[in-house]
Amino acid sequence: MKTFELHESGVRSYCRSFPVVFKQARGAELITREGKHYIDFLAGAGTLNYGHNHPVLKQALLDYIEADGITHGLDMYSEAKETFLSTFDRLILKPRNMDYIMQFTGPTGTNAVEAALKLARKVTGRNNVISFTNGFHGCSIGALAATGNKHHRGAAGVPLTDVSRMPYANYFGDKVNTIAMMDKLLTDPSSGIDKPAAVIVEVVQGEGGLNAASAEWVRKLEKLCRKHEMLLIVDDIQAGCGRTGTFFSFEEMGIKPDMITLSKSLSGYGLPFAMVLLRKELDQWKPGEHNGTFRGNNHAFVTAAAAIEHFWKDNAFADSVKAKGKRIADGMNKIVRRYGPDSLFVKGRGMMIGISCPDGDTAAAICRHAFENGLVIETSGAHSEVVKCLCPLIISEEQIDKAMSILDKAFAAVMSDQAATQVS
Ligand SMILES: Cc1ncc(COP(=O)(O)O)c(C=O)c1O
């Protein structure tokens, strides 16, 4: 580890939980330079929905590079971009009756969020934006202002302004209607909430602890946006690209967001790539007004188009995600029943699920134990209390079962240690 400790900034984080040197990766497996195999339940924090080095995507990229295809072309027209635009329109937007313009932003999720917030403010002429408790939207200043997490916000160095935080679905439990609460605040001219340009929301909160909003809550949120003339931005950076069992996390809820942010698994291959989908009327940018050298990544255009063509031409892949999500949920529910029916519970939706533990120390100990036995898995949540499964969607049933057995042993060890401490 010496080289990393000597030369790499202290800001590095995941490597602290998984202190080995990885050399290769295939499908749902990571392999260290010593040849030890790990099942990957982190998958680049949701970036590798189609697994590591998927052969179809790899071949498309190799062919493109071999033919001296454009690697970088600013935002000039390229064949790779043309293919991506038409493939995404044909296989993702059109079949879902969605009519959006695609804006390519800088390459990471926070760039897409910045662009969406900036455009919402430009179009409406208002500063304020509503975001939610436990929401995570990125670490650049505009996106960070919309992010709840204290650890990240603490490093901003400047005031994080122009965002009003509202309680997410079920933040106060089932009985408190947070939509009615927002409606009252937005209706009252003396509530102190400036009329917002937009609401930005994750339909399942990834970093915030796998809080899944109900379809009813999301539909009511859309109505609230229409009533108060706020744009609805769905941040689908983590929950999109098939993670919840449909391409978009909100697909079966019947809403039509004004903007949608996508990144992470959009390239399909782990390449940096981010995009905002905009309702046509909102595309009020002047040429180059929101700029960036790496807007649109041609290698990512190639792998993204190949991924969409391969996985989204029919329903088979989405159906397999739903089935695997159920298999993981069944495995997790078994663990909960065995080791903590009163203190553990399963949270999330589709293949974005995890087990909520009594506290962050317990969850961290479980992840450490799992790692020692060959499973890369991380936590999320306000107190890092949720052991979070974010495995590649192409994972096999055997790998799921193996991972569940590693997790079972980890919960057995950590929960029995805790019970012993409490007795003594
Ligand atoms: C919902 C959501 N939005 C935005 C981001 C920020 O993306 P990035 O880390 O690529 O900037 C993340 C990252 O985890 C995310 O989960």
* Domain hosting residue 290, numbered range: 57-311
**Within this chain, do residues 65 and 136 fall inside the same structural domain, yes or no?**
yes
Tell me which of 311, 337, 367 is where a domain ends.
311
Mean residue pLDDT across the chain: 97
> Kind of pairing, strands 386-389 and 352-356?
antiparallel
Q: How do residues 32-81 score in pLDDT, each as one tens digit?
A: 999 999 999 999 999 999 999 999 999 999 999 999 999 999 999 999 99
Q: How do residues 291-314 score in pLDDT, each as one tens digit?
A: 999 999 999 999 999 999 999 999
Q: Would you give the DSSP letter of residue 33?
A: T
- Please count the CA atoms within 13 angstroms of the CA of 34 that sit on its side-chain side: 5
**CB of 265 sitting under 6 A from ligand 1:** no
Q: So what's the pLDDT on residue 423? A: 65
Q: Residue 422 above 90 pLDDT? A: no
Going by C-beta distance under 8 Å and a sequence separation of 6 or more, which residues neighbour residue 59? none
Going by C-beta distance under 8 Å and a sequence separation of 6 or more, which residues neighbour residue 388? 41, 210, 348, 353, 354, 377, 378, 379, 380
Q: How do residues 359-385 score in pLDDT, each as one tens digit?
A: 999 999 999 999 999 999 999 999 999
Q: So what's the pLDDT on residue 417? A: 79
Q: Two tokens at 287?
A: 């040429």
**Within this chain, do residues 306 and 403 fall inside the same structural domain, yes or no?**
no
Q: How do residues 229-271 score in pLDDT, each as one tens digit?
A: 999 999 999 999 999 999 999 999 999 999 999 999 999 999 9
Picking from 202, 351, 199, 193, the residue whose alpha carbon sits closest to that of residue 262 is: 202
Q: Would you give the DSSP letter of residue 27?
A: B
Residue 7: how many CB atoms within 10 A of its CB? Answer: 7
Provide the number of structural domains found in the chain: 2
- Please count the CA atoms within 13 angstroms of the CA of 79 that sit on its side-chain side: 5
Q: Two tokens at 175?
A: 């009985």
Picking from 205, 197, 235, 222, the residue whose alpha carbon sits closest to that of residue 113 is: 235
Single-letter amino acid code for the residue at 117: L
For ligand 1, atom 13, the nearest C-alpha belongs to 138
**Domain CATH number, residue 343:** 3.90.1150.10
CA of 124 to the centre of ligand 1 (A): 25
**Within this chain, do residues 13 and 127 fall inside the same structural domain, yes or no?**
no
Q: So what's the pLDDT on residue 418? A: 79
Where is 389: in which H helix or E strand? strand 386-389
> Kind of pairing, strands 37-40 and 275-279?
unpaired
Confidence of residue 114 (pLDDT cuts 50, 70, 90): very high
**Within this chain, do residues 304 and 353 fall inside the same structural domain, yes or no?**
no
User: What is the C-alpha separation between 203 and 255, in angstroms, rounded?
Assistant: 11
The three-state secondary structure class of 402 is helix
CA of 137 to the centre of ligand 1 (A): 5
Q: Give 240-271 as a DSSP string.
A: TTTTTSSSSTTGGGT---SEEEE-GGGSSSS-
**CB of 136 sitting under 6 A from ligand 1:** yes
Q: So what's the pLDDT on residue 419? A: 75
**Within this chain, do residues 36 and 69 fall inside the same structural domain, yes or no?**
no
**Within this chain, do residues 114 and 101 fall inside the same structural domain, yes or no?**
yes
Tell me which of 266, 294, 311 is where a domain ends.
311
**Within this chain, do residues 307 and 386 fall inside the same structural domain, yes or no?**
no
Q: Which atom of ligand 1 is nearest to 207's Cα?
A: 16
Confidence of residue 7 (pLDDT cuts 50, 70, 90): very high
CA of 352 to the centre of ligand 1 (A): 15
**CB of 200 sitting under 6 A from ligand 1:** no
**Within this chain, do residues 173 and 231 fall inside the same structural domain, yes or no?**
yes
Picking from 273, 288, 263, the residue whose alpha carbon sits closest to that of residue 81 is: 273
**Within this chain, do residues 256 and 140 fall inside the same structural domain, yes or no?**
yes
Q: Which of 110, 233, 241, 260 to mutate to test the pocket of ligand 1 (most atoms within 8 A of CB)?
A: 110
User: What is the C-alpha separation between 305 and 177, in angstroms, rounded?
Assistant: 41
Residue 187: how many CB atoms within 10 A of its CB? Answer: 11
Tell me which of 242, 276, 311 is where a domain ends.
311
Dihedral pair phi/psi, residue 148, rounded to 5°: -90, -30
Residue 106: how many CB atoms within 10 A of its CB? Answer: 22
CA of 46 to the centre of ligand 1 (A): 9
CA of 136 to the centre of ligand 1 (A): 7
Q: So what's the pLDDT on residue 421? A: 75
Q: How do residues 385-413 score in pLDDT, each as one tens digit?
A: 999 999 999 999 999 999 999 999 999 99
**Within this chain, do residues 37 and 170 fall inside the same structural domain, yes or no?**
no
**Within this chain, do residues 37 and 168 fall inside the same structural domain, yes or no?**
no
**Within this chain, do residues 48 and 61 fall inside the same structural domain, yes or no?**
no
Q: Which of 249, 263, 294 to mutate to test the pocket of ligand 1 (most atoms within 8 A of CB)?
A: 263
Residue 75: how many CB atoms within 10 A of its CB? Answer: 16
Task: Judge contact between 293 and 74, C-beta under 8 A.
Answer: yes
**Domain CATH number, residue 141:** 3.40.640.10
CA of 268 to the centre of ligand 1 (A): 16
> Kind of pairing, strands 29-32 and 22-26?
antiparallel
Q: How do residues 144-184 score in pLDDT, each as one tens digit?
A: 999 999 999 999 999 999 999 999 999 999 999 999 999 99
Q: Residue 416 above 90 pLDDT? A: no
**CB of 113 sitting under 6 A from ligand 1:** yes
**CB of 107 sitting under 6 A from ligand 1:** no
Q: Residue 324 above 70 pLDDT? A: yes
For ligand 1, atom 4, the nearest C-alpha belongs to 137
Q: Residue 424 above 70 pLDDT? A: no
Report percent pLDDT > 90 for the chain. 97
